[in-house]
Amino acid sequence: MVPAYSAGAHPANTGSTLITEPSTGALPITAVGPAGMVPPLLGDGRHPYQYLEVLQPIDPNVSPKLRLAAAAGEPFACVHVESFGGPGSGYGYLSYALKEALLISVQDANPDGTPFQSPSPTAAPPTPAPATSANGKPPVAPTPAPAAPKAKFEKLVLGYTSLTWEYQEAAGAQAPVHRGAGTIVPPPPSSPLSYSNLVFAFGGLVAATVALMFAYHSRRRDLTRRARRQRATHA
């Protein structure tokens, strides 16, 4: 089971909301995105709902389970994502409830959310055979090469069939609260290649062929008549 995600402290629930208070044991996150899924663009009517991106520190106890769930395509009934807005975020708190959520991908990331690039491995220099020093003591072991840097953050891409969201503007406890809900609208499927479509396409092809043949023979007949008139004139 994937617990809720949260960043910072969530204010007390003092009224009716679309999203209930988060449960304990939430995973800490550092950022949510993309821009169209966070205030002030969230729910403005011009930006359609997209997959939600969550940036979080890598947890050795949880991250392997998340990656396994992403690889297996395991769905979750509901995933809560909540964030307490920092300076310049434009909101005081932000909450999502993703219904029938799915982990699309989990990738190593830098602190700013860009993909983490691990350095290319280099071949280790050959280790010389140990030799005994002049005083009979074993030689000092060579200093091992420093370990390659590892990613400290990971970006999760969360899909869903529908969501509800709520956020409060960053203007204090009396700031307006915005709420909404929606779904990801999939692209329209391509028209199936049915029998009627095949008949219609074949009929159009036959009609085009007949029209082309008629135009060809008409042009050829006109050229023949013109040649006959020219020969009659010369005679």
Task: Give the class (CATH, top level) of 5-117+149-183.
Answer: mainly beta
Q: State pTM to two decimals.
A: 0.60
Higher pLDDT, 150 or 22: 150
Is the pLDDT at 109 greater than 90? The verdict is: yes
User: What confidence tier does 131 reach under pLDDT thresholds 50, 70, 90?
Assistant: low
Tokens describing residue 123: 């071949």
Is the pLDDT at 37 greater than 50? The verdict is: yes
Return the number of other C-beta atoms located less than 10 Å from residue 93's C-beta: 21
pLDDT reported for residue 86:
72
Cα separation, 55 vs 61, whole angstroms: 17
Is the pLDDT at 133 greater than 70? The verdict is: no
User: What confidence tier does 1 reach under pLDDT thresholds 50, 70, 90?
Assistant: very low
The three-state secondary structure class of 8 is coil
pLDDT reported for residue 97:
93
pLDDT reported for residue 59:
87
Q: Print burial letters for 181-197: b (CB count within 10 Å at least 16), e (below 16).
A: eeeeeeeeeeeeeeeee
Locate tokens 């609208």: which residue?
185
pLDDT tens digit string along 188-212? 555 555 555 556 566 777 777 877 8
User: What confidence tier does 166 reach under pLDDT thresholds 50, 70, 90?
Assistant: very high
DSSP, residue by residue, 22-86: PPSSPEE-SEEE-GGGSTTTTTSSSS----EEEEEE--TTTHHHHHHHHHHT-EEEEEEEEEE--
How do strand 5-7 and strand 27-28 relate by DSSP bridges? Answer: parallel
Is the pLDDT at 213 greater than 80? The verdict is: yes
What would the mean pLDDT of 123-138 be, rounded to a whole number? 59
What would the mean pLDDT of 8-13 be, rounded to a whole number? 42
